[in-house]
Structure 1
Amino acid sequence: MFFFYVFFNFGTLMRDGKPVYRVLFKPAYFNRFHVRGLSVILTILLLYNNRFFPIQQAVAGYYNTQGDLATARQDYRLAETFYQQGVTFEFQNHKSNYGLASLAWIQGDFASAARFFRQALAKQPSPYAYAGLTRSLMNEDLAFDAFLPLVKPSNGFPVRVNSCQIWRICTPKPMAWIRLVTTTKKRLI
């Protein structure tokens, strides 16, 4: 906005080669009040163009912080409410979905934990969310379903040292793990 302020008010002076710095704050056409008003209008238009998404993200972040505070105080019911509010303001909110999955895990509801881990993986996948999804599905006795999501992080996080360790979480026995890897690769090909 400052560029337009200088351009409209002092463009002719700059074109003539006169020293603009002496009269920079004595505008001829637009004063600073008009520029501030135009910048507020431009900001509102940009927010409206994005459907106020940055504001919704900020509110979701506030509820995530409140949920973290309630989790630290071990008030899980209140934390779940705050995380649900965060999901309401942004449905693909990684932090809210990961928090809800962790709370479901603490309460022993592994099916809900798997659902929330999948939602957390929709926007910002992390190795921890993949590991949580795998552990949740393994606790539901869905070994093959638990292994399939692990193919994606091995492609998405190839430089991670713990990618193979995340795979190994599926089965504690090495031979069963190797058999599971080979059968899954055969089914995928």
Structure 2
Amino acid sequence: MRSFRSSGKVRLNANGRTLDAWLIYRCSGCGNTWNRPIFERRNIRDLDRATLEALQSNDPDRVRGWAFDLDALRRKAQSVDECADADVRKEVLSECNAWTTLQIDLAVPFATGLRLDRLLARELGIARSELQNACDGMRIRADPHRPGILRKRIKDGTRVTIGLAADPESRSRWIAAATGTGHD
């Protein structure tokens, strides 16, 4: 089976008053292309102006959105390899001298195969077993609450709250890892 990746480009074909739009994928091995339909035989008057402009300009945000529309991709592909990686941006929204909890809000605009325990372990620099122990000890909560949340794929809008340990060394380590700084 060959692996294809989105090229970030759209192909358009106008036929009278109808328009076809395809997202172009390239084979990772040989470079051949596969055109996945975004839509076919759509009347141009039925398209909103922003969509038409995005198609004509290969708008990177819109193209990325179509490329990560896994439901549409599954309807046209034999199999889909979901990305298990994520770009992480850390931002401290409020600070205090005596932190007792960390709150992490996940913004995940595109589907990913990355599990919450793997993301937190990587970004906090701790073992997944330590995360599981903290979850079992009710020091980690996630909203919306789902059983086994640590082993589920990350979802947009998930909020993770971590109760920091009473041990100052442990608290400092978690805060530094979460914020990307050297907080005490």
TM-score using structure 2 length: 0.25
**Between Structure 1 and Structure 2, which shows a larger proportion of strand residues?**
2
Larger relative contact order, structure 1 or 2 (CA cutoff 8 Å, min sep 6) = 2
Choose 1 or 2 for highest CA Rg. 1
